[in-house]
Structure 1
Amino acid sequence: MKGVDDAFLGVGDKPGLDIWCIMGTNVVPIAKNLHGKFYTGNCYIVLSTSELKRGSRQHNVHYWVGEEAKEEHCVMASDKAFELDAALGSQAVQYREMQGEESDKFLSYFRPCIIPVQGSFSSHWRRSAEECDQTTMFRCEGEHVARVTEVPFSRTSLDHKAAFIVDTPLKIFLFSGCNSSVQTRAKALDVIKYLRENRHSGRCEIGTIEDGKLVGDSDAGEFWNLFGGYAPIPRDVPDAANGELMTTTSKKLFWINKRKLVPMDAHLLDREMLKSDRSYILDCGTEIYLWLGMATLVSERKISVTVLEDYVRSQGRSSIGQTVITTEGHEIADFKLQFQHWPKNVVQKLYEAGREKVAAIFKHQGYDVAEIPEDKPQQSISSNGSLKVWLVDRGSVTLLCTEEQEELYNGDCYIVQYSYVEDGKDYNLFFSWSGQNSVQEDRLASVSLMSSMSDSVKGPAVVGQVSEAREPELFFLVFKSLIIFKGGRSAAYKNSVLQKSNRTEGYQKDGAALFRVQGLRHDCARAVQVDLIASSLNSSHCYILQDGPSFFTWTGSLSSPTEHVILDRMMNKLFPLKQSFLLKEGSEPDHFWKTLEGRSEYSKDKCVKSWPADPRLYTCTFQQCLFKVSAILQITFSATRNHEYSQLVAC
């Protein structure tokens, strides 16, 4: 590609890391065995490629700046990161990482940590032999990723908040501050194992020292002798209210106009403020974002990156905070959250004309294109388990009989238990299901009762709270077939309905009703009662219409033969021994439309099943009276024993 360094051609095809070091005017690839080893006198470019569940690849480009790196190398790293983004189709998100201020995302690529080395990459062979012959001291922080910083080998470097590692030629010491968390100590142990294997070839003793517990401990005696004897550590100085400071810092939005920054009113940010033919800088205090419009020229983008670097230096924040460069259409979630209204991604519609032309070509070649084969759902749990369903009513539960446990009402709340045995062990799944029209009293009671019931069972239990129309596939798999009626049977729901009107709303066996029929596969289907109007129809689905003693089964023009089989099965379950009139879309009699209160427009677009989202795990904490949510990166789940957990988290 024109204007792109040859070192970047063909990269990003496989998941994993690619790292380059800036040396003079060249970009030098770093061997895999040296990944994670960064020198303070250099700048690096890191490309992280991950494969999403929907099959596409996601690219993140980071350029890491060492604290002793030359200014011209920093500028070159920024330019080369932009070239790498161009080689990837301008779809990557770029991050500027300063030594000591790296983002959690960047640190999560390297296990267990990164330990910057003094000097430059060109002298690494000489320094590698010297590392084992000197005593070094590190400060370790972080709960989900390890932040390791080399500190002066001195007693004054110690405090009560973090864990400290002292690496000597013969022994590695771990000093755990009394105010350090269990997670931080665990991360520090991982770092010690890494140092032992890589610096001492596994031949090194390890000593642990607990802050405040020093009497009669030989490791503690050796540790304090390194500092000339024991002396108490001063109390930690309370941190300034950084969280409060950042929340009061106003956001600043600038439009980049010919290398100049034009301030914009950023009191209330809205997505419509961003124009596709412009570039913008958004300063949020701890993070600075550069947003590049889709229609901006490559030359304008390069100028925008230069303006961003100049802005960071002019603010005196070259060594603190983080800068993120993102392109329109590929914004990260943290950037979108800065705006009051950000439209959701819209699933593109299929072009029917193109679809029909492609189908005609395949038919001419002799292929049957009546139906595209559907993906078989993964068997995540045993299908030979037992099912129990309880109705929640007035703070208590009523066990439903076998005939009723697959019939739910959208005005009620239920507790579902699915138990099965695998490899001689008992497993239990609990769901608290809330109908769309259920009342708050029943919803709160169902969660509390489910928690109590899950604590009383034998074997591991997984609990999940789901609501109507947002159930995970795992919920439907425990039912062979499920019917959801309108109305409710709980006393709280009936009282709520009576307060609004003098009649009880819901399904009437001898009345009129419309059911939408869907299925994951032939043995796992559901029928949901929808509003009795024509706009409830959709060409992608099949429906059952009841009008007193008369029944119609309606097949949409875009529905598949598999769905037609499911439709017949659900008709037999809903109305056994009843005959129905089969109607194809476009051949409906007047009586059909009369039952639906007349003809009206309904959706005739193909419902494209969205790709499953990649699982995300978050930790929620309160810091200085502020509720903080942080993403845990690089999470993994067991594929055997804990498959239920991965299914629930992914939903």
Structure 2
Amino acid sequence: MAVSMKNVDIAFQGVGQKPGMEIWRIEDFKPTPLPTESYGKFYSGDSYIVLRTTALKTGGFHYDIHFWLGKNTTQDEAGTAAIKTVELDAALGGRAVQYRETQEHETDLFLSYFKPCIIPLEGGVASGFNKVEVEKVEPRLFIVKGRRAVRVSQVPFARSSLNHNDVFVLDTESTIFQFNGATSSIQERGKALEVVQYIKDTYHDGKCEVIIIDDGTLGSEADTGQFWVLFGGFAPLARKAAVADDAPKLTKPKLFCIIEASFKEVEISKDILDSSKCYLLDCGNELYIWAGRNTSLDARKAAVSTVENFITNEKRPKHSQIIRIIEGFETLEFRSHFDNWPLHEQYPISEEGRGKVAALLKQQGLNTKGILKGSPVREESPSLPSLSGKLEVWRIVCGMKKQIAAEEIGRFYENSCYIVLYTYQGEERKEEYLLCNWSGRHSPLEDKDASLKVMKDMSVALKGRAVQAYVAQGREPIQFLALFKCMCILKEPPSLGQKDNNAVMLVRVRAAGPKIVQAVQVEPSSASLNSSDCFLLQTNSKLYAWSGNLSTFESQKASLLVAEILKPGVIARAMKEGLEPPLFWSSLGGKRKYASQREARDVPKDPRLYACSLSQGNLKVIEVHNFTQDDLLTEDIMILDCHNIIYEWIGHNTSTDNKEHSLSIAKRFLERAEKLDGAQPDTPIFILAEGYEPIFFTSFFSWDSSKVNVNGDAYSRKLAGLQGRRIPSEKPQRHLTSSSSVGAKDESTQRAAAMAALSSQLTKEGKFSKVVQNIINQNNSASAPVSPRFHRPSTANSQRAAAMAALSLMFGTKKAGLASSVSVDSDWIAGSSPFTKMEASGDTESVTSSKSEDGGDEGEEITEFFSYDRLKASPTDPDLKINVKRKEAYLSPEDFEKLFGMPRSQFYELPKWKQDQRKRNLQLF
């Protein structure tokens, strides 16, 4: 039964004709268009309908419809919004996905339209559109949740609303405060900064002070006191009690057929779904209404009311998610609940109803192209790196890599695996690397395993800077093909002494792009031909260049180029399809039927971004909608799915476990995409690290290189930008005292010289040289006795003595006068080691422990290092016995420099507040 248009509201005529957003508010039970300047402003007493139109690469438009219900909206307005949403879908030809949104429980997709956030206003149409006063008297307190899609909710302005787990924003007349709970995540803190910026620009004209309050730290006494005085003074915060999730937890989804306002449970199977009925798929947290393409508009409206009653009768939360879909436009999430959903099934999409819509709009003089058929989008070639770099190729032979001679580069054999390294000049860095693993269709499993090991070793040797590509024969992306003048994939030639029983060779030639050619040897049979490509046929005496009737001019030129490469000096005889001589067919074993229609090519779809991680061995996948560069969080692994290519981006601060399993995560994601979206199992995978993104990845974003986090300190960058200050690029300088015989060199130079001198006096085994050891022994014996109360481990004392001895050697100072000839700032040495603090007093030196504020000893000798992940989770690890105030001291030197972006000595040179800030950003505070 076709959808009738007679009951569709006139406000929806001509909608969805171009990409973008359209919003209506329910006024007097009718949808009224909102002016563009009011988009993003929602009143808690109203109901709204939002249409998002997206142009697809494959042609046509995709529609998402949301009806948003304010927490104070009336039941009548909410019901009107739900019914009018069904009518809007009918006006679009019955192909939109429809979402029910409730205030403070919106979907991530809806929130992605209104970045950075939505802050609903009090009032609504029934109350005369109350507006926020320009001069706010009463402070407003908001809680901010979400790592990407940010949910901002206003909470009572009281100390009891604060807790240690969340981030809060307090908006006052002249100042905005951000309160970071002690256990809140760094991602939520960063998103809260964006909310603060939004409030500052929207309600303060960009003119107000911004103060950050970190829970559990002193910070600035003036700022902290100014914050707490607004709450009547400081008092300890109560710990937030765990709240049970009120959403039902179902072991498995249930499918119900909706029959006259009642439900009949049926088997979850694609074959059960009837095009003339409506169904409810109950997944607990989400409720899907599926409407067959032959259902009437009234039946679809009735299904909506029935499911609303279901929520009430089953005592489900009022904010339960409802998603309505039409047959033929099911989402990936919906299809994932069915075991065997046909991936490429095509449906007639309400052609009669859509035709009526188009005819109605045409009478009104409106464009109907988006209704009947979308215009195909011209596919653009991806951006490629510079092609003037250095290319090296290795073949895997007996588990080892064997370099290919320059004249053989570009020739691959299908029973082997190869490693390709391309080094080129990047836009902003001196050198960039593309490291590729290519496996032939008939390569043995042992070679594939060996190539993966070689790939890993080479990636480590390049310090993780290389973009890694995993490519299978027949699925070569243009980024790989562009590296070669011509890529030829051939069958292995017979060994010496063996007879070649296959003297005839047939090679398919295809131009993949401008000056990008691929040639593949195929079975010498006429069945291997197809009209879309060009072929080279080599016999004992002839070389034919055959052009299919549907082949491109570029491929025809490419076939002559390949002929010159395979048979230098031999002139190929060109021929078109249908004009072949008998010898041509006889060489192929006779003329047989072959593909004469234009070959379908696997083209990229609109890219989709996902955050992926392994949790207890299970792959967790979360889609990021309407993504931007800011959604690439340094703590995550992100996958950009382009259907014919998978890009895996690894953040700087991703957990070690996820980094180690990055290839496994990409392969498991590909298995998921194969099941839900018809991806090919051998789709090429590119793996890249944060800070080393190639141009063919950044082209999917509006890329700003200044946002690249080489240190993973995005929060500090955002905070500095918000407060209008610059992050100091140079460290503060301190000088030796006036008694120094060395001169007025700054401390950083002194430190570098000392460390360099010390390094020069170490043997290969890491021990001190004999000269330095003698000075240490003399120094220790000449020193005044050290009180047992202040006794420190001898290793720390040796470190100081070694540094002093190295300086003495470097500057030619007398051994005996070392202590008196150089006066060293005590903090100079303390900054270079987290374990000790030295005190210089006259000719004697006493080593004192560094005491914490509560009297705890912070100068303990570190005998064991721990992983970053374990240190970060130390409160939940009872077996980890460490000084929690000095977590960074338990990192190995390699992990320390990797996480903090600087050596340990340089870190302890920073002021204490900066040390604490960096530790806090890494959750080591």
Q: Same fold (TM over 0.5)?
A: yes
* Matched residue, 2:477: 472
Question: Is the Cα–Cα contact under 8 Å of residues 383 and 699 in structure 2 kept in the other structure?
Answer: no
Greater mean deviation of Cα atoms: 443-452 or 406-415: 443-452
Amino acid across the alignment from 2:26:
I
Question: Is the Cα–Cα contact under 8 Å of residues 213 and 219 in structure 2 kept in the other structure?
Answer: no
Shift of 1:215: 6.2
Answer yes or no: is 1:31 the counterpart of 2:35. Answer: yes
* Matched residue, 2:862: none
Of 251, 254, 260, the match for 1:252:
254
* Matched residue, 1:415: 419
* Matched residue, 1:354: none
Shift of 1:33: 2.4
* Matched residue, 1:495: none
Question: Is the Cα–Cα contact under 8 Å of residues 416 and 442 in structure 2 kept in the other structure?
Answer: yes
Distance in structure 2 (CA, Å) of the matches to 1:596 and 1:72:
75
Query: In the TM superposition, what whole-angstrom CA distance separates every residue of 1:373-401 from its partner, at most 9, and x where no partner exists?
Result: x9774653333333222224455433322
Query: In the TM superposition, what whole-angstrom CA distance separates every residue of 1:273-298 from its partner, at most 9, and x where no partner exists?
Result: 32323322211121111122222233
* Matched residue, 2:320: 321
Distance in structure 1 (CA, Å) of the matches to 2:695 and 2:499:
37
Question: Is the Cα–Cα contact under 8 Å of residues 160 and 180 in structure 1 kept in the other structure?
Answer: yes
* Secondary structure of the corresponding residue to residue 139 of structure 1: strand
Shift of 1:628: 1.2
Of 140, 143, 146, the match for 1:142:
146
* Matched residue, 2:757: none
Greater mean deviation of Cα atoms: 203-212 or 540-549: 540-549
In the TM superposition, 1:49-198 aligns within 5 A as: 49-121=53-125, 123=127, 126-129=130-133, 132-198=136-202
Amino acid across the alignment from 2:413:
Y
* Secondary structure of the corresponding residue to residue 136 of structure 2: helix
Distance in structure 1 (CA, Å) of the matches to 2:324 and 2:267:
21
Amino acid across the alignment from 2:313:
S
Amino acid across the alignment from 1:437:
H
Distance in structure 2 (CA, Å) of the matches to 1:150 and 1:219:
23
Of 537, 541, 547, the match for 2:533:
541
- The verdict on how the C-alpha distance between 1:467 and 1:43 changes in structure 2, with shifts beyond 3 A counting, is same
TM-score (normalised: structure 1): 0.84
Answer yes or no: is 1:265 the counterpart of 2:270. Answer: no
Distance in structure 2 (CA, Å) of the matches to 1:48 and 1:194:
23
Shift of 1:594: 5.6
Question: Is the Cα–Cα contact under 8 Å of residues 392 and 412 in structure 1 kept in the other structure?
Answer: yes
* Secondary structure of the corresponding residue to residue 10 of structure 1: coil
- The verdict on how the C-alpha distance between 1:458 and 1:423 changes in structure 2, with shifts beyond 3 A counting, is farther
- The verdict on how the C-alpha distance between 1:347 and 1:91 changes in structure 2, with shifts beyond 3 A counting, is closer
Structure 2: tracts of 5 or more residues without a match: 348-377, 631-691, 703-925
Answer yes or no: is 1:277 the counterpart of 2:276. Answer: yes
**Quick check: which one's strand share is greater?**
1
Distance in structure 1 (CA, Å) of the matches to 2:700 and 2:204:
43
Identity rate, percent: 37
Structure 1: tracts of 5 or more residues without a match: 349-373, 490-502
* Matched residue, 1:360: none
* Matched residue, 1:406: 410
Query: In the TM superposition, what whole-angstrom CA distance separates every residue of 1:420-475 from its partner, at most 9, and x where no partner exists?
Result: 33557433333222223334444454445445545655996433322222232222
Answer yes or no: is 1:553 the counterpart of 2:545. Answer: yes
* Matched residue, 1:388: 392
Query: In the TM superposition, what whole-angstrom CA distance separates every residue of 1:12-69 from its partner, at most 9, and x where no partner exists?
Result: 2232221111122222222222222222211111111222233422211000111221
* Secondary structure of the corresponding residue to residue 521 of structure 2: strand
In the TM superposition, 1:1-40 aligns within 5 A as: 2-40=6-44
* Matched residue, 1:364: none
- The verdict on how the C-alpha distance between 1:221 and 1:623 changes in structure 2, with shifts beyond 3 A counting, is farther
- The verdict on how the C-alpha distance between 1:178 and 1:391 changes in structure 2, with shifts beyond 3 A counting, is farther
How much is the aligned-residue C-alpha RMSD, in angstroms? 3.4
Amino acid across the alignment from 1:529:
Q
Distance in structure 2 (CA, Å) of the matches to 1:123 and 1:198:
23
* Matched residue, 1:645: 697
Greater mean deviation of Cα atoms: 585-594 or 480-489: 585-594
* Secondary structure of the corresponding residue to residue 279 of structure 2: strand
Amino acid across the alignment from 1:71:
Q
Shift of 1:5: 2.2
Answer yes or no: is 1:294 the counterpart of 2:293. Answer: yes
Query: In the TM superposition, what whole-angstrom CA distance separates every residue of 1:554-610 from its partner, at most 9, and x where no partner exists?
Result: 333322333222222222222223354555445556665565556554333212445
Shift of 1:114: 0.6
* Secondary structure of the corresponding residue to residue 37 of structure 2: helix
Shift of 1:130: 6.0
Shift of 1:204: 1.5
Shift of 1:79: 1.1
* Secondary structure of the corresponding residue to residue 127 of structure 1: coil
- The verdict on how the C-alpha distance between 1:15 and 1:141 changes in structure 2, with shifts beyond 3 A counting, is same
- The verdict on how the C-alpha distance between 1:578 and 1:215 changes in structure 2, with shifts beyond 3 A counting, is closer
Question: Is the Cα–Cα contact under 8 Å of residues 328 and 346 in structure 2 kept in the other structure?
Answer: no
- The verdict on how the C-alpha distance between 1:420 and 1:298 changes in structure 2, with shifts beyond 3 A counting, is same
Greater mean deviation of Cα atoms: 249-258 or 96-105: 249-258
Distance in structure 2 (CA, Å) of the matches to 1:156 and 1:22:
36
* Matched residue, 1:492: none
Distance in structure 1 (CA, Å) of the matches to 2:302 and 2:238:
49
Shift of 1:234: 3.8
Shift of 1:84: 1.3
Query: In the TM superposition, what whole-angstrom CA distance separates every residue of 1:167-203 from its partner, at most 9, and x where no partner exists?
Result: 1222111111222222111110000011111112222
Shift of 1:526: 0.4
Distance in structure 2 (CA, Å) of the matches to 1:124 and 1:565:
72
Distance in structure 2 (CA, Å) of the matches to 1:130 and 1:522:
59
Answer yes or no: is 1:617 the counterpart of 2:616. Answer: no
Question: Is the Cα–Cα contact under 8 Å of residues 536 and 546 in structure 2 kept in the other structure?
Answer: yes
Amino acid across the alignment from 2:276:
D
TM-score (normalised: structure 2): 0.60
Answer yes or no: is 1:607 the counterpart of 2:611. Answer: no
Query: In the TM superposition, what whole-angstrom CA distance separates every residue of 1:344-386 from its partner, at most 9, and x where no partner exists?
Result: 23699xxxxxxxxxxxxxxxxxxxxxxxxx9774653333333
Question: Is the Cα–Cα contact under 8 Å of residues 394 and 403 in structure 2 kept in the other structure?
Answer: yes
Amino acid across the alignment from 2:197:
K
Amino acid across the alignment from 2:106:
E
- The verdict on how the C-alpha distance between 1:32 and 1:593 changes in structure 2, with shifts beyond 3 A counting, is same
* Matched residue, 1:331: 330
Distance in structure 2 (CA, Å) of the matches to 1:131 and 1:414:
69
- The verdict on how the C-alpha distance between 1:72 and 1:481 changes in structure 2, with shifts beyond 3 A counting, is same
Amino acid across the alignment from 1:643:
I
Query: In the TM superposition, what whole-angstrom CA distance separates every residue of 1:308-339 from its partner, at most 9, and x where no partner exists?
Result: 33333333235233111111222211111111
Amino acid across the alignment from 2:516:
C
Distance in structure 1 (CA, Å) of the matches to 2:414 and 2:701:
24
Question: Is the Cα–Cα contact under 8 Å of residues 246 and 317 in structure 2 kept in the other structure?
Answer: no
